[in-house]
Every structure is written in C-alpha cells, then in structure tokens.
Structure 1
Amino acid sequence: MRIPVSWLIQQLELTEDHRDIGATEIAEAFIRVGIEVEDVLPLGPVTGPVVVGRVAQIEELTEFKKPIRYCTVEIGEPEEDGEQPLTTQVVCGATNFVEGDVVVVALPGAVLPGDFAISERKTYGRVSRGMICAADELGLGDDHSGILVLPVDDDVAPGDDAIELLGLTDTVIELAPTADRGYCLSMRGLARELACALDLGFADPAAIDVPAAENRAIAVDLAAEGACSRFAVRRVTGVDPTAPTPWHIRRTLMLAGIRSISLAVDITNFVMLELGQPMHAFDTSRLRGGLTVRHAVAGEKLVTLDGVERTLDPDDIVISDESGPVSLAGVMGGASTEVRDDSTDILLEAAVWDPPSIARAVRRHKLPSEASRRYERVVDPALPPVALERAARLLRQYGEGSIQPGRTDEGTPHAAEPVVMAMDLPDRVAGTRYARGVTAARLQQIGCRVEVGAAEDGTPEVTAYPPSWRADLTQPADLVEEVLRLQGYETIPSVLPTAPAGHGLTLAQRRRRHISRTLAEQGYVEVLPFPFVSPKVWDAFGLDADDVRRRTVAVRNPLESDRDQLATTLLPGLLDTLARNVSRGAKDVALFHIGQVVLPRADAAPMPDVPVAGRPSDEQFAQLAAALPAQPTHVAVVLAGNHQRVGWWGAGEAASWADAVQAARVVAEAAGVELAVSADALAPWHPGRCARLSVGGFPVGHAGELHPKVVEALGLPKRTCAMELDLDLLPVRERKVVPVVSPYPPVLLDVALVVDDEVPAAELTETLRGGGGELLEELSLFDVFSGSQVGEGKRSLAYSLRLRATDRTLTVEEATAARDAAVAAATERHGATLRG
C-alpha cells in the first residue's frame, strides 16, 4: 500500500507537539505498532522554475518519422492590459494534449528527478526552451503514456508555481500490512493505526450520514449461498462523461500506482483507497434486467475489462444479468457493461465476498487486482452503503450527476462475537504491570466497545465488542496482542531464561553436530536444498514402479505446483543444488546435507481432525502419532569435478565412487560405529559402482557413482557421485575420545596377497584387520594388480601394515607373528596366498 504523507496527516487531529511531524516519524510510528514499512519515497526532488502552462499553439512537424510538435506555451499572465502573455517554445513528442490544455512546463534551469537538468537546446531544427512534463518525469508515479494534463481551474493561472500546486515536496510511504489486517489497505485504516501510535485523535472518513434504503435501486438476487454476505448498489444518472477527474484524486491514484481512466472509475478507485471498500461501476444502460450473484456454470465465457475472454469455473462467483455473466465477482468487471466515454447512467456496486473464493479465482485466472487483494483479506461488512454514498456524492460534485433515491442492500453480515478477557492478562503475558485503565483505553482506540465487569470469582475482566473492520479479534490472545503492540513492544522486559543445570545437547544432537563439522573439515559445503520434489524425479532416478521411495506424501498447497511431494530421500534436493552451482560456473563441487525425509507407511491411519480450542487428549495424541509418517534423519553428500583440486601441487584428482564411500566412512567414524562396505546394485547408482553400507550386518545406506542415464536426465556433470546414509539406524553412543599416544616406534611391514577376482577388497581388509589383533594400528590398501603374473581370474592386493604396542618396543618376531596371523586368517577365509 502506497500512501502520501500529506493525505494521512489530514485525517489526524494534530496537537502542538506534532505540528511538524515528518515522514520519518510517521514511518517509525507504523513500525512501532507492527506494520512493516517497505520504503519511504520523497517525491522529486524538483528544483528551479517549474510552472503551470497553457498550450497556445501547436505546430506539427511532419518531416520526421515520428510525431514531433513545436508548441507555444503561455507561462505567465501579461503585466498590463493589452500586452501579450509571456510564452515559451517547446519541442515535444507527445500527442495526448491539444491547444488550450493546462500542462506543467520545466523551464531552463530546472532540475527534475534523476538529476535531469533542463536547458535551452536546439533539436529537430527548432530551439526548445524548456520541457512539457509527463507524470513520471516529475516523480508522480510510473505513467509515461503521455503528457500530464491538468484540469482547468479558475484558481490556477499560467506561471503559477507547479511544485507547490502538484505537492512535489510530499513523501510517499510504502507499507506491507500483514494478511490479517486487511483494513490497513486503506487510508482510513492506516490513519487510525497512526493515531493509535501517536495517541492522537482521528477523523474517520466513513463517519458520514447514510440515508436509509427506502426502496430498491435495482433487483438483486443473492443465489450463491455463502459466497456473498452483502451486496449493495446505488444509481447515479446524468453524469457528464466529459467531466475531468479532479487533480487531488488523480494525484492520489498516481502515487498509489493506479492509472487514471475516467471520472466514474477514478472515483471508485479513490474510495477504495480511502475507505478500503472495493467498488465497481456499471453502465446501467448496458445491463439487461436485474442482477444475480451466483456461481458460474462450467464452460461459461466472460470477456473481462482487460479484453481477455475467460472460461469460467463452477467455483467462480459471478454477477450476471439476463444476458449472462457481466463481472467476475471481486476480481474484475466485464467488458460488456463497462463505463465508456459516453456513459451517463452509472450503477455503483459495493459488496463483501467470501475471501477464499476470491483467492482461488485470482490464482485460477492469474488475474490479481487491487480489489481482489482487499477481498482476500476480509472487507469491513459495514462499509458497502457508506462507500456507495461517498462515491455517489463525488459523482454529483464533480460529474454533475443526480443521485437516484433508493439503494439496494441485500444480505445480513454476521456481527462479531464479543471477547471476554481477564483485565490483567496483558500484564501477565508481558511480564510487566501497566498503568490502571491502559487495557480498556487501548481497546477503545482500535474501535472496540468495552464493558468492564467482574468474573464469578470477583477478578476484574473486560468484554470487548470488536468493530466491524476487525474480524481478526476472536479470542483473548488477540486482545492481548493489541494492547501490547500499542503500548510498545519495547515496554516488555527482556529476561533471558536460566538454563537448568545438568542439561544440554542430547547425544544425538552432539553426534549430528560432530558429523556436520567433520564433513566440513573434509571439504564438503553444507546446503539447505528445497525440501519438496516433483514426481518426475523418480523417473529420472530410474526407480521401479513399485519402489518404496515413490510412495510419498503430497502437499496440499505447494509453493511450486510441479514440486508437490515431500522427499523420501535427500538426493533430489542435493543434486538440484549441485546442478544449479555447476550451471553458474562452479566446476568442483562437494555438498552435504543433514535433514529429515518422510517415509509414509502403507498401513498408516487417516489423519484425525483435532480441535485447537484446548489440549488434545491422550487418545488424540495416539491417533496423531499413528497417522504421522516416519521421518528419519539422513545424511547425504554429492560430488562432481575434482575432489583434489588442481593447483601448484599437481594436476588434481577427479572425484570417484571411492570418495563417496570414504565420506560414509568419515560419517561412521564421527558417529563411533564400524561401517561395513559391500557391492550392491540400487538405482540411482551405477550397478557396477555402487556400495551398500552396513552397520552390524544391517544396511544403513548406499554410496557410489550415479548411473549415466540419471546423470543425463538431471543435467549433471559426468561421473557425479553420491552417498546417503540413515543416521537414525546408527546406534547413538557417548564418545569421550581420549587419544592414546604410544611413545614407542612403529614397525612397518607390507604384504601382497593373491585372491580370486570375486573377493571384495573390503572383506579382505576386514579379515586382515581382525587377524592382526591389537598390535595392528593401521591397515591401508595401496596397490591392486591383475595380470598373467598372478594367474587368470586372480588379482593381487598389496597392503601396508603399521604395528605398534603402547607399553613396549615391538620386536621383529612379535611384528612378524602379527602379520602372519593376519595372512593366515585371509588364507583360511578367502583362500589368499602370498605373492612371490
């Protein structure tokens, strides 16, 4: 909502202390009462001679490819009778003005917004001494469709200061009220909030006398039950279709970002900005019979004011006459009954529509509007007759219209229920003690009618009757919020809670942090990928139709329509993040994420409808637990490019499946568990480069290189690798690591074993480690060889062994015995032989 400061101040009853209040103070006041200020935009700056001018003569220059005019403009009255007015000559390319129009002229020496200096210069073969200005060139909005033409006014003469006339020293404040405060999308609502923040009086523009509806202006039938709680119309005839919109209304619309169209339409938009009640103007002569508010029939067509023919949905609410739909209710009117250049008989409509229905229609037709924005956030049900009366009087004042007697007013809005609250509840919630009478005074400031009484136990309580524009006040907590925000959140004491002794992070929390820190130390970067996935990703992963990872939970109102499922694995989000980084120039990428996945059970119970008025019962808690899907915590990594980067130290090393497996080992080490690695085949990994990760014989995850088809489908770099592991399947152990440093030297031995090709290196490694006993401090594979020297179907695996004791220096005999024991275990289990 964009609103001029000058308009706001006009509604306040200023005291001596606030006579010189400025935009900064007003912005700070809005922030104090909880309304977000997005920007404070001073108009201009415009300096120098900028005056009102009257176009005296226009010479069309036809020798150019585009329209160019050489205009003589009166910029001052003659000093004596009989003398010619002061004039200047200006070259202009706009064509939306004629001789006699009143315009704004920036003379040489003026400086317009953007530090645009005006000077005398020769152009198109003529000397231009100034510039005729458009609205955006003066900082009055974004309209550059033509020159700003002012209405003819006897009080305005050529040469008058245009800076003062146009209010170019004003400031516009751009605000973003929360969705529950739709009343703040109006000058009336914002001025009331400002008055509350500054403790000033407030002149309500809706406080006007509205005559009773003695008879109906037109027949109206509310056939759509629940779609419209109030529908009112009033008729104004004899409107002058050529009457210009008054400058103050045009200026307000410009600054709010609304284009001026015609007097009738501009007045409805102005009243909407002023009161918060959207309105629509029909050309009564184009209506056929009475009006009916109903749901659309499937397949019905309506050409809206933007000239687009729209196919209506049965959920759409329409206003129709005997010819069919004439308006998409609450969103946009129809072209068949719009007010045109020759319209003299105007039917003004103001209604209160069902907010969810309007919101769905806007999204369905992709047709947001200023009216729908307010209807989605609840409109004051008491406003329709007030807004009609205000608009009708403006049409009579500026368009010489005649207000017809009678008003159609159908529907009975539901009155707000009173809210009862303990008088000291705001004090208890804030943890402070407010002065006596503060609660009642603040509630009265926001428009509540207040009754003070006592509960059955004698404690004071207040009964608040919310005003019609505050549909959000439904419970004591809402009243507490109003009192606290108007008193000022800074008055609430800030007290840090004392942490109870002996408490801290749980073992699982400490483990998660340790794993995250360990992966970061290994060169991985933690990311928070988008948690929702598209169903198409499972096809890209090559999952079978019955794969359990396809069984997901759908999101009812997704942020992105094509990503409407909760993820059963962390890989889609991580791979999407990897692809985005690669597309932006990153070559070597290593990412990780620790987060929850959602695994719905096939036999899950339906989700119960639990009321929110009180604490659920134990039975309801049990039903909720039975309906919720499992949400285990996973850790996953993805790699692409070089794992060892290129530098002065060498050519680098490409990431491979072994790096993904090593990442799993790093996680297991940080978690304090032993990880077993074995070959497997599972989509989306490459069947020949996929490792199953197990703890205690139970699979906990997979790692390896992704399948080439998956890489191609997702647009990933070649040989992209990934690992995912279920942390909740790992036993949680308290690890108080105390490193044991032996002061004695190690004994280094190598051994090369020949085994069958089918023997996994991981299994042989585990066998050697078990056979070596406590003296085997470290075991690492450093060479794999296949060839005729070791025989057909065989391969040689060479290991480096480091042996050491903590209490003595090992003898050669002890070290050799440990090595021989390891080799003997490998021989017994895998048929290994020492390579000669």
Structure 2
Amino acid sequence: MRAPVEWLSEYVDVPAGTDAQQVADALLSVGFETEDVHVPPVTTGPLVVGRVLTIEELTGFKKPIRFCTVEVGPGNGAPDSPGGAVREIVCGARNFVEGDLVVVALPGSVLPGDFAIASRRTYDHLSDGMICSVRELGVGNDHEGIMVLDPDDPAAVIGSDPRRLIGADPVEGAVVELAVTPDRGYALSMRGLARELGIAMDVPFRDPAADPVPDREAGGWPVHIEDPHGCSRFVTVRVSGVDPAAPSPFWMRRRLLAAGIRSISLAVDVTNYVMLEFGQPLHAFDLAQLSGDIVVRRALPGEQLRTLDGAVRTLVVDDLVVADESGPISLAGVMGGESTEISAGTTEVLIEAAWWAPEVITRTARRHRLPSEASRRFERVVDPEIAAAAAEAAAALLVRFGGGAVLGRSDVGLRPAPVTITLPLGEPERLAGRPYTPEVITHRLEQIGATVTGGESALQVSPPSWRPDLTRAADLVEEIARLEGYDTIPWVLPTAPAGTGRTSRQDRVAAIAADLSSAGLTEVLSFPFIGTKDLDQLGLDAGDDRRRTAVLSNPLDADRPSLTTTLLPGLLDAVVRNISRSSRELAVFEIGQVFLPAADSPAPPRIPVDRRPDEAQLDALEAALPAQPRHLAVVLAGPADRAGWWGPARTADWSDAVELARRVVRTAGVAVTVTAGEQQPWHPGRCARIGIAGDGSVTVGFAGELHPAVCERLGLPPRTVAVELDLDAIPAAALPVGPRISPFPPVLLDLALVVDDTVPAGTVAEALVQGGGELLESVRLFDVYTGERVAAGTKSLAFALVVRAADRTMTAAEALGVRDAALAAAHTASGATLRD
C-alpha cells in the first residue's frame, strides 16, 4: 500500500519537521512494516507558479514552436520587464492555452537529473526560463506535455513556490510504501492508515467518513438482492448532466499517481480516489446503457461477460454478478463489464458501493485469475457502514469537477448487527505479561474506534465496523499491547530444564551421517510427499506394501498427496535436478522418516478444535497413526573415483552400494551379512539383501544397481546405484568389549575354493568363519577368478585366513585342522571345493 505523506497529513496533524522516514517509523511502531520510502527528486533554485499571458506561434522551423509571455509574480520577472513580473519563454508543448497556470523554472534553478536552467537564445528569441512538464519536475512520467495547474486550487498563487502543490516537496511529497497484513484490510485506505498514524504520533484524527450523509429518499436506481449472503448491502447514487470532457483536477491525478494508480477519466479517477481515501471500492456505470432494474444474483450456467480488460469470461454458478435485463453487467467485487463502461460520451453516471462476502470474492478472483484493487479490499473485508458515505463522496466530487447534479440514492440490504465483547480488566495483564490500568485499556480501545462501557471487573467493548477481526477478548488484548508497544512487555528467559543429552539412537544416527559425509557424500533433505506417479516410476508391483500410503487432507502438491513410504523418490528427484544443471558426479544420502500405514489401520477420528481431546480420542488417534521408522537412502550416479594422473575414472557400481551399506551397519556397531536379494526398484541380478549377522531373518534393507527401466523413466545415468536401509530395524549395539590380543604369532593360510558362479562370496565367507571356530581370527576375500582354468559356470574365490591361539603357539597340524574344518563347513553350505 503506497501512502503519500501529504494525503495522510490531511487527516492528522503531522508535527512540523517530521520527515517521511519518521512517518514510516511511527507506522512501524504500531505494526505496519515499511517496504520502502519514496522521496521525490530535489529541485533547487527559483521555481514559481506562473500564468500564461500570450502565445505566439513561430513558423519556419521543423517542429511547432511557441513564444510565450508568462506572469511570474512580483520580483520574479526579467530584469528589464515592467514591474519585474513577466518572463519570455520559448516552449514546444501545445497542451496549454493563454490564461493557464503553469510551473516555471527560472534561470538559476536545477531540475532533477542535474538539468540547469539559464537564459539562452533559441529559435531567434531569448528564452528566459522554462515551462515545466510532470516528467521534467520528477513527480511523474506523463509525456503529454506541460503541467497545467488547477485554477481553483487556493494554493496556486502566481509567484508562489509550487513544490508542495505539485508533490515535489521532500517531506509532504514523499510516499511511504507499507506491507499490510491480510487481517488489516482497513489499512488499505488513507482513512485507516491516518487513524493508525494519529495513534502512533498521539495527534488527533479527522475521519473523512464522519460527515453526515445527505438524506435522499427518491431518485435512486431500483436494486434487488437475490443473494443476501453474498451481498448484504448495495448502494447506488445517480448523477446526471456530467460533462464527459471534464478533466480530473491535477491534485487528484497527482495523488492517484503517488498511490500507484494511473489517471483514466474523471468518473474513473473519482471512484479510484474515494476507494483509496475510504477503503470502499466503487464502480461507475454508464446509466444510458442500463436496461431495467439492477439484480444481484448468482450467475447462470454458461453465462458470459466481457470484462473491462476485453476478455470474454464464461461464468459458473458460484460467481456473483450484477445484472440487468440484458444479463450480467459486472463481475461482483472484481471487475465491471464492457457493456456499461464509462465512455467519452457518458453524461449519466450510476455510482455503486456494495458490501460483498470476502469468501465469494476470493473464489471468483482466483477462478478467473483476475486480481484487482477492488477484490484485494473485498477479500480482506470492507467496512459495511461506509457504503453510502463513499458513494456520496464520489458523487460530490463528480458534480464538483464534472458538473451536473445528484438525482437520488438507493440503499438496499441490511447492515450487520454490532457485537459486544466482554473484556475482564485482568485479561490484558494475564495474556501480555505486564499490567495495564483501566484508563489505558479504555483509551487504547477508544483510539481504534471501539465503544467501551463497563464496571469494576470487566469492560463491554463494541469493536468498530471496520475491524471485523476483533471477535474475542484476546483480540482486544493484542490491540492494547500493540498500541502500547510490544517493547514495553518485559522479557523473561525461561530456565531450561536439565536434560539427559542425546539418546543412544540419536547418537547412532549422527554418527552414521558424519561417517557418510566423511566418505564424500552430501546430505539431502527432500519433501516427504509422494504420488502414484512416483511409485509407478519405481516399478513397484500393485501389491507392494509401499503403495499403501497415508493420504493428506490438504496436500501442498496435488500431484503428491501422500506421505512417503520410501526415501528414494525424493532423493532421485534431487539427483535428476542436479544432472539437469550439468552436475555429473553425484553421491548423496538422506536420513528421514517414512510413513507405513498398517493394512488394517483404522480411519483417524475427527478431533475437536474447541476443546482438549479426551483420552479415548487421543488413543484412537494414536492407533490410526502409521508406523514411522527412520530410513537411510543413498544414491550414487557417476564416477566413484575421479580420473587423474593415477589413472582413468571408475564408475560407481553395485559393489560400492553394498560397501556403503556394510559401512552404515558397521558404524551402528552391528555385524552385517550380505546375501543375494530381489526387491524393486533394484536390478534383479545386482541387488544385495542387507541383514544382521547371527539372525538371518532380520532384513534391514537392500543395496545395488537400479533397474535399467527405472533409470530410463527417471532420466538417470545408466547403472545408477542406490541403498535404502531401515535404521530402526538395526538392533542396538552390544556393550563394546575390548579385543583379546594374543602375544603368540599367527599362522597365515590361503584357501582357493571353487563354487558355482551364482553363489555369493559372502555366503562362503560366513561358512568359513562358522566352521573355523574361535581359532580362526579373520577371513578376507582377496581374489575372484573366472576363466579357462576353472570349469564353465564356476568361479574361484581366494581367501586369506589368519589362525591364532590366545595361549600358545599353534602347530602346523592345528592350523591345518582349523582350515579343514572351515573348508568342510563351506562345502556343506555352498558346495565349495578346494581348487586344484
């Protein structure tokens, strides 16, 4: 909201010497955030109001030129002019005539842009000054020519300084731009902001809507309201005999421009001016184009309306329209129709001021994508009491500057009944935390326009009609605290209760995140929402448990209305987005919750909002909540090792994903097992099941290469690999026990085994450990061979075994016995045989 300081000063007595920044600070002190302060550019030197005496048209030049004599007031004329009151000026503009009042920059003045004015000879004449345009003075962008002042303006005195008159004064010509919150629609007007400024500066406020409305019982236009919910009041004022060529006065055009609205015509400018002044949007109809009575109703199916922007809009039954016998003539509260638009020949004007239901206007404006200054105010609720006052003010301005007469007014509908709020005198202190005397409470509430009565323990407060946001005692307390100053409320730092620190589970998650970061991975935080398309892209079967989702009642994204059951969609989205921005080396991970509703999960109960739920309702709500385990997901796309002098790059493959899964489980302090697995969206032959050692039934996740079809659908690089683990399924680590260090030497043995090429190396290694017993200290796979030296369909796995006893030096026979026991266990588990 742009508020010219000069306009605000019309309703409040701004203290002398107050600049625009101080005005902005005052409004900020009562809760209005300042977005900007616009100060007009400075014009130095002699600038005066002048009257054009004569105009001589000069010929013989490439463009029309005029030689003018201008009366500039005593003491301002040329040194050799009689009485010193006249200047001769050459001017190329043609939008002024003899007798017009203009702004004259005398020699020695400097206009915005460092444009110095001096006497100079041009077009065979001496030009002793300059007649200025709006643009040259820096108070607008009007290209139409010279600024012509209103002769009826008492401030337009020949020879006087016109800076305040034209808005070039650095104080009163400034504009304060404010951010108005949706609950303070009254502040989208000079009336509302001036009231707040008067409160902030503790100066009297003069309400422009306080003047009595003229009593007019006849002559208005017939109006019928068929939808009293959408329109509770509809006022029309009829004005006849308006001069269609009458221009808007300069001061009105200047104020509109400063407020961010361009001048169009007198009738339109008047409605915009009153809207900014009162906060009541108005609409002007060409009365000659109306057919019969006005009806306020809902649109009929298929009805169309050509709005003022030239677009033909197809209406729906939820749209509220103003109609006559020809059909809709205005989209209520949003924009008028072309059929009754004010034109260059309009002499009969019907001014409309109505109260529209905010929710109706909001839906209509959004449905038709047609925001307007009017809908912006109606959405935030307009004062229902000022419709007649605003319409009469507009009619008075129209008659004053366009001639004609007011024929009558019609006022149809009912005004809302006033509400009364009981405010206990102790409530402000209880809610705000500081005492307020009854006198302060009453004074502050009366400042905002409320009527206050009451006794010793409580006050009865009737909020003003322009404050529909005040509905309860807490709202009144907020107003008292706001006007007294939030900075007067003492702050007390609460004492933090003694805590136990992070839990072991939280420590484990933090350790895993730190370890993955140290390995070069980047943590990602994605939105926890998915849609059916995301699950389809992962290729999940119809019966997959991850397709059973918790659907949100009011999702942020209609395409993703459910809480996620897997972290992969969000993480893969991040990878695709980075690839589209030319990133080629991606290693990312995410730790977050997933939401897994049970197959027989009950529907969540409806919880009351006006009171605390009882225990049964809370138990029912708890039972309806989905399981929310914490998962970890990793995606690797691109090289695992960069190219350099040490050799070529190596692309990340399934083994890197499996190793990261092992690393995570090891960081959690638990032994891991890796076996072949099958789980969508991983490649069936390159997917590993991650389990817990010693308990083969516990699966904590899967790792491997994503299915080629998934990579193609998502636009991922071929052979992208991923991991997803259920961190909550990993059991707590046992109490760590220090290793027993044997002082005796180890026996180092190598064992080459031949197995079927479908047997995982992990299965063989696990069997060797179990068969070797306590004396087998470690098993490490150091070679895998397939080729002509082994049978087709088989592979050779070479393991390095370390055998050691804690209490003695082992003999060769004992070491070979351990090896043979391990070999036997491997043969039983996987059919492994000793390689020749």
Q: TM-score, normalised by structure 2?
A: 0.85
Q: 1:669 to 1:497 in 2, by over 3 A?
A: farther
Aligned to 1:153: 151
- Deviation string 1:76-104 (CA, Å, 9 cap, x unpaired) is 536546998522456x9xxx957778887
Q: Distance in 2 between matches of 1:808 and 1:61?
A: 123
Does the 8 A contact of 1:56 with 1:71 survive in 2? no
Alignment of 1:481-496 (within 5 A): 481-496=478-493
Q: 1:390 pairs with 374, 393, 412, which one? A: 393
Does the 8 A contact of 2:55 with 2:69 survive in 1? no
Q: 1:352 pairs with 344, 352, 355, which one? A: 355
Query: Where does structure 1 lack aligned partners over 5 or more consecutive residues?
Result: 64-68, 455-459
Aligned to 2:74: none
Q: 2:428 pairs with 418, 426, 429, which one? A: 426
Aligned to 1:378: 381
- Deviation string 1:725-760 (CA, Å, 9 cap, x unpaired) is 3344444x3787787696979957654432211112
Q: Distance in 2 between matches of 1:681 and 1:516?
A: 26
Q: Distance in 1 between matches of 2:368 and 2:825?
A: 74
Shift of residue 368, structure 1, vs aligned partner: 0.9
Task: Tell me the SS of whatever aligns to 1:462.
Answer: strand
Does the 8 A contact of 1:600 with 1:628 survive in 2? yes
Amino acid aligned to 2:262: R
Query: Which stretch shifts more, 255-264 or 808-817?
Result: 808-817
Does the 8 A contact of 2:135 with 2:143 survive in 1? no
Shift of residue 660, structure 1, vs aligned partner: 3.2
Q: 1:593 pairs with 590, 594, 601, which one? A: 590
Task: Tell me the SS of whatever aligns to 1:340.
Answer: coil
Q: 1:772 to 1:235 in 2, by over 3 A?
A: farther
Query: Which stretch shifts more, 498-507 or 333-342?
Result: 498-507
Aligned to 1:400: 403
Aligned to 1:791: 791
Q: Distance in 2 between matches of 1:399 and 1:344?
A: 9
Q: Distance in 2 between matches of 1:631 and 1:328?
A: 49
Q: Distance in 2 between matches of 1:419 and 1:278?
A: 29
Shift of residue 556, structure 1, vs aligned partner: 5.6
Are 1:179 and 2:179 matched, yes or no? no
Alignment of 1:600-611 (within 5 A): 600=597, 603-611=600-608
- Deviation string 1:171-220 (CA, Å, 9 cap, x unpaired) is 32222222222222222222222333333332222212123563471222
Amino acid aligned to 1:828: T
Query: Which stretch shifts more, 339-348 or 721-730?
Result: 721-730
Aligned to 2:687: 690
Does the 8 A contact of 1:233 with 1:349 survive in 2? yes
Aligned to 1:43: 40
Shift of residue 658, structure 1, vs aligned partner: 3.1
Q: Distance in 2 between matches of 1:729 and 1:112?
A: 77
Q: Distance in 2 between matches of 1:126 and 1:378?
A: 62
Aligned to 1:440: 442
Q: 2:295 pairs with 292, 297, 305, which one? A: 292
Does the 8 A contact of 2:777 with 2:804 survive in 1? yes
Q: 1:86 to 1:502 in 2, by over 3 A?
A: same
Task: Tell me the SS of whatever aligns to 1:210.
Answer: coil
Aligned length: 811
Aligned to 1:523: 520
Query: Which stretch shifts more, 251-260 or 294-303?
Result: 251-260
- Percent of pairs identical after alignment? 50
Task: Tell me the SS of whatever aligns to 1:372.
Answer: helix
Task: Tell me the SS of whatever aligns to 1:702.
Answer: strand
Q: 1:568 to 1:396 in 2, by over 3 A?
A: farther
Q: 1:495 to 1:209 in 2, by over 3 A?
A: same
Q: Distance in 2 between matches of 1:406 and 1:136?
A: 41
Q: 1:584 to 1:149 in 2, by over 3 A?
A: farther
Does the 8 A contact of 2:306 with 2:338 survive in 1? yes
Q: Distance in 1 between matches of 2:246 and 2:828?
A: 105
Does the 8 A contact of 2:306 with 2:337 survive in 1? yes
Does the 8 A contact of 2:604 with 2:620 survive in 1? yes
Does the 8 A contact of 1:75 with 1:159 survive in 2? no
Are 1:640 and 2:643 matched, yes or no? no
Aligned to 1:11: 11
Q: Distance in 2 between matches of 1:148 and 1:588?
A: 64
Q: Distance in 1 between matches of 2:225 and 2:21?
A: 47
Q: Distance in 1 between matches of 2:255 and 2:358?
A: 27
Shift of residue 266, structure 1, vs aligned partner: 1.4
Q: 1:641 to 1:349 in 2, by over 3 A?
A: same
Shift of residue 304, structure 1, vs aligned partner: 0.5
Q: Distance in 2 between matches of 1:109 and 1:561?
A: 66
Aligned to 1:655: 652
Shift of residue 43, structure 1, vs aligned partner: 2.8
Q: 1:265 pairs with 268, 271, 274, which one? A: 268
Aligned to 2:316: 313
Alignment of 1:276-287 (within 5 A): 276-287=279-290
Task: Tell me the SS of whatever aligns to 2:515.
Answer: helix
Aligned to 1:580: 577
Shift of residue 397, structure 1, vs aligned partner: 2.2
Shift of residue 589, structure 1, vs aligned partner: 2.2
Shift of residue 638, structure 1, vs aligned partner: 2.6
Task: Tell me the SS of whatever aligns to 1:404.
Answer: strand
Q: 1:753 to 1:608 in 2, by over 3 A?
A: same
Aligned to 1:464: 461
Task: Tell me the SS of whatever aligns to 1:12.
Answer: coil
Task: Tell me the SS of whatever aligns to 1:569.
Answer: coil
Q: Distance in 1 between matches of 2:22 and 2:415?
A: 41
Shift of residue 365, structure 1, vs aligned partner: 1.0
Q: 1:236 pairs with 216, 239, 243, which one? A: 239
Shift of residue 606, structure 1, vs aligned partner: 4.5
Q: 1:622 to 1:377 in 2, by over 3 A?
A: farther
Q: 1:461 to 1:730 in 2, by over 3 A?
A: farther
Are 1:255 and 2:258 matched, yes or no? yes
Q: Distance in 2 between matches of 1:128 and 1:514?
A: 86
Q: Distance in 1 between matches of 2:330 and 2:233?
A: 16
Query: Which stretch shifts more, 468-477 or 776-785?
Result: 776-785
Are 1:761 and 2:761 matched, yes or no? yes
Shift of residue 605, structure 1, vs aligned partner: 4.4
Q: Distance in 2 between matches of 1:654 and 1:37?
A: 54
Shift of residue 558, structure 1, vs aligned partner: 5.0
Amino acid aligned to 1:485: R
Q: 1:536 pairs with 533, 538, 554, which one? A: 533
Shift of residue 302, structure 1, vs aligned partner: 0.6
Aligned to 1:66: none
Are 1:302 and 2:299 matched, yes or no? no
Shift of residue 2, structure 1, vs aligned partner: 1.6
Q: 1:736 to 1:680 in 2, by over 3 A?
A: closer
Q: Distance in 2 between matches of 1:384 and 1:286?
A: 23
Aligned to 2:325: 322
Q: 1:691 to 1:238 in 2, by over 3 A?
A: farther
Q: Distance in 1 between matches of 2:6 and 2:527?
A: 45
Does the 8 A contact of 1:230 with 1:413 survive in 2? no
Q: 1:488 to 1:589 in 2, by over 3 A?
A: farther
Q: Distance in 1 between matches of 2:435 and 2:379?
A: 38
Amino acid aligned to 2:719: R
Query: Where does structure 2 lack aligned partners over 5 or more consecutive residues?
Result: 72-76
- Deviation string 1:645-688 (CA, Å, 9 cap, x unpaired) is 44566544323333333343343334444444443444433333
- Deviation string 1:20-72 (CA, Å, 9 cap, x unpaired) is 33333333333333322222232335557877797968999999xxxxx6654
Q: Distance in 2 between matches of 1:107 and 1:810?
A: 113
- Structure possessing the higher radius of gyration over alpha carbons: 2
Q: 1:420 to 1:147 in 2, by over 3 A?
A: same
Task: Tell me the SS of whatever aligns to 1:229.
Answer: strand
Q: 1:531 to 1:214 in 2, by over 3 A?
A: farther
Does the 8 A contact of 2:40 with 2:138 survive in 1? yes
Shift of residue 773, structure 1, vs aligned partner: 5.5
